[in-house]
Amino acid sequence: MRILFVNQYYWPDLASTGQHLTDLAEHLAAEGHEVRVLCSRGQYLAGGGSTPRREVRGGVAIQRVGPRGFGQRRGILARLTDYALFHGAVGPRVALGGWVDVVVTLTTPPLVGLWGALAQKLGRTKAHVPWFMDLHPEAEFELGLVRRTSALGRMLRAFAALETRSARRAVVLGSYQGARVEARGLPKERLVEIPVWSSKEDVEPCAPKDNPLRAEYGWQGRFVVLYSGNAGLVHRFDELLEAAEILAARAPEVLFAFVGGGPRRAEIEAEAKRRKLPNVEFRGYVPREALRHSLPAGDVHFVSLEPAQTGVAVPGKLYGILAAGRPVLFVGAERCESADAVRDGAAGFTFGPGEGAALAKAILELRADRELRERLGANARRAFLLRYERRVACAMWSGLLAELGGSRTGGPAAAQPLQMPRDRRSRGLEETAAALPGAGGREAGRSRRTPAGSPAAERPR
């Protein structure tokens, strides 16, 4: 099968969408598909080095188009300019190409799926499959950047419907995101749930004493609460900063570390400085190959999502944390993909907005109870291997493409949501949950601290 992927970012870029696309494209090429990628010459971080316009890597033919661009650090106007230039460069190539059996479009830049939908309508491809990493313009609506009822909002909603409704299949990261895509007018039977992933070889548990990065960073002897990756507009950090303030004097050995970047990084640094927090430090992005030491360098990890962004964004960093075998502290909606994954995997605790004090208390519990940390970490790794490992997710993509090509071989039925069969879950997860602090029927009161392994919230069906 001839497959064309369209996304602004691809190898060697650090952007998460580019990394996952690289994994999938090379997996499909290894299976014998003819795979091409259309991406940008620019990179997520400006100044990332020069890349050729055309090359072949891992059996994938890569074509980079447009100017080098500005990157994500130059502000929203530069980002919009990059988006517009990429749309202009790929539009005619995708809509009028004619070479491809299936066009898969991602969501960077927003609405790039319009060109895949047009190619399908013009008969230039048999199938357009949008792969929704984030939802636009829903993200902008929820952030208050654009009003839904404004002229611009109505126009963006119309474009989103156009890129979605005619799709042969649409890949979403979970059921909450699927409900939002269905609301655009796509029939439910065309939705396919495939989570993003990490690789069991790329990231695996590593004891703190054996981790060279902890020594390099001077983290030996510290209890590290790590936030790794992009600090985006859809994430929240008030609770983490409140916990850092509470523990600054009470537990100075607890370090809150940010490793990465993103549009809110400067704001978080400024707030930590304003609060005079000596227990917070910041470091830049690490290359993908360094994640094998960077992710296990935290004793526990923090993940967050604004509740209004439920189904709009799904933090992909969670799956690397699970791969590293580290407990997760999640702040966000009680019902969302991330909270469900933490609970179902008995891999940590979830909190609601405003529960910074409860978060601080949980950090102290985890610091004091090594056995609990190790149990949650083992659960995290187990859940990762069952559902979020690269081969598991890529096999689902193989099944989807086999169905679109008229064959049912190569994986599970694509139109069915990915579910973890209950009999494949370790009974140990539920037994562990019963022994966790806060389990056994104890009410959490106003704090929505949820012990891992408690029954999952009702999901959209």
Distance between CA 34 and CA 26 in Å, rounded?
A: 10
Q: What is the pLDDT of residue 212?
A: 95
Q: Based on the number of CB atoms within 10 Å of its own CB, is 308 exposed (0-12), middle (13-18) or buried (19 or more)?
A: middle
Burial 315-334 (b: 16+ CB within 10 A, else e): bbbbbbbbbbbbbbbbbbbe
Q: What is the pLDDT of residue 446?
A: 34
Find the CATH number of the domain harbouring 124. 3.40.50.2000
Distance between CA 315 and CA 262 in Å, rounded?
A: 13
Do 230 and 91 have their domain in common? no
Please work out, in degrees rounded to the nearest 5, the angle formed at the alpha carbon of residue 276 by the alpha carbons of 223 and 230.
60
Do 263 and 343 have their domain in common? yes
Do 245 and 186 have their domain in common? no
Please work out, in degrees rounded to the nearest 5, the angle formed at the alpha carbon of residue 339 by the alpha carbons of 336 and 341.
105
Do 273 and 191 have their domain in common? no
Do 227 and 324 have their domain in common? yes
Do 173 and 212 have their domain in common? no
Do 87 and 116 have their domain in common? yes
Is residue 155 in some structural domain? Answer: yes
Do 186 and 215 have their domain in common? no
Q: Please tell me the pTM assigned to this model.
A: 0.86
Domain count of the fold of the chain? 2
Do β-strands 328-331 and 300-304 pair in parallel, antiparallel, or remain unpaired? parallel
The structure tokens listed for 368 are 């004091």
Do 101 and 187 have their domain in common? yes
Chunked into runs of 10 residues, the chain (461 residues) has average pLDDT values of 97 91 98 97 60 95 81 70 93 90 96 97 96 97 97 98 97 98 97 97 94 95 96 97 97 97 95 98 92 96 98 96 98 98 98 98 98 98 97 97 70 36 34 38 38 51 55
Q: What is the pLDDT of residue 72?
A: 53
Q: What is the pLDDT of residue 452?
A: 52
Is residue 354 in some structural domain? Answer: yes
Do 263 and 312 have their domain in common? yes
Is residue 348 in some structural domain? Answer: yes
Q: Based on the number of CB atoms within 10 Å of its own CB, is 172 exposed (0-12), middle (13-18) or buried (19 or more)?
A: buried
Range of the domain at 329: 208-387+426-451
Is residue 274 in some structural domain? Answer: yes
Do 393 and 383 have their domain in common? no
- CB neighbours of residue 249 within 10 Å: 9
Q: What is the pLDDT of residue 97?
A: 85
Strand 328-331's sheet: what is its strand order?
A: 280-283, 254-261, 223-230, 300-304, 328-331, 348-351, 450-451
Do 238 and 352 have their domain in common? yes
Distance between CA 115 and CA 96 in Å, rounded?
A: 9
Q: What is the pLDDT of residue 74?
A: 55
Cis amide leading into 109 (omega within 30) = yes
Helix (H, G, I), strand (E, B) or coil at 449: coil
